[in-house]
Amino acid sequence: MRFSCALETASERIRLVNVISPLIKAGYQLVSQRQEPSSNGGNIIQVVAKSQGAKTQADLIADLSAIDGCTLLKLEIEEDEAAPPVAAPIPLAPTAPAIDEKSVLAAIGARYPDIAEVVTQYKASLPAERRVSAMHELGRKVGGGIYQRDYALGSPLKMSAAISRELVPALKVFSKIKARDHVITLVKCPFC
């Protein structure tokens, strides 16, 4: 089921990331999203997404209603790819990227180490000529955030602890992992 919706936030502090993170966690694949200021001092968040799995319209409405600080203004649903849309889709800015890096970083932070789906969606939304550099930059930022989070009083984690606590959980969704001391082996790696 594909849908488009518009939500109004109660405050300008509730941003796009506060809407898309719960949707990703609830099992929706984002197609596009846009944020613009509303007349009440908040934001209007417009999202186009697809459900992944057996979601009903009631599930969708419950998931959208559960997003804190937001009011559902508009919802348009297509039952499946072959069905005609219930109404015309919400017009989105043609130059807006499908998924922006800040949203992806927020979703990764909320879901870590279960990040494979978010990373895959982000990669697919990038133009081919920018994909390698953008994915490298995303990895650098995620790694830097984990580094800051796991250093206590300036004392670094031992390499074996960092590998087992941080790297193995993130990589195990892509491949079977063997980690020993300072060596990581990806068994049947899909990237090689």
Structure confidence at residue 191 (pLDDT): 67
Domain ranges of the chain: 2-78, 97-149, 158-192
CB 121 within 8 A of CB 23: no
Q: Which of 57, 45, 41, 38 is nearest to 15 (CA)?
A: 45
- Residue 50 near residue 83, CB atoms below 8 Å: no
CA 58 to chain centre: 22
Q: Could you list the pLDDT tens digit for every one of the 192 residues in the chain? A: 888 898 888 888 888 888 888 888 888 888 888 888 888 788 888 899 988 878 888 888 888 888 888 888 888 888 654 444 444 443 433 333 457 888 888 888 777 777 888 888 888 888 888 888 888 888 888 877 777 666 655 666 777 877 887 788 878 877 888 888 788 888 877 666
> What does pTM read for this prediction?
0.42
Compute the distance between CA of residue 47 and CA of residue 166 in angstroms, rounded to an integer: 32
Matching CATH number, 2-78, of 1.10.287.1080, 3.30.70.60, 1.10.1270.20, 3.30.70.270: 3.30.70.60
The pLDDT tens digits of the residues spanning 83-101 come to 444 444 434 333 334 578 8
Q: Are strands 176-180 and 2-9 parallel, antiparallel or unpaired?
A: unpaired
Instruction: Characterize the bridge pairing of strands 183-187 and 43-51.
Output: unpaired
Tell me, what's the pLDDT at 95?
Answer: 37
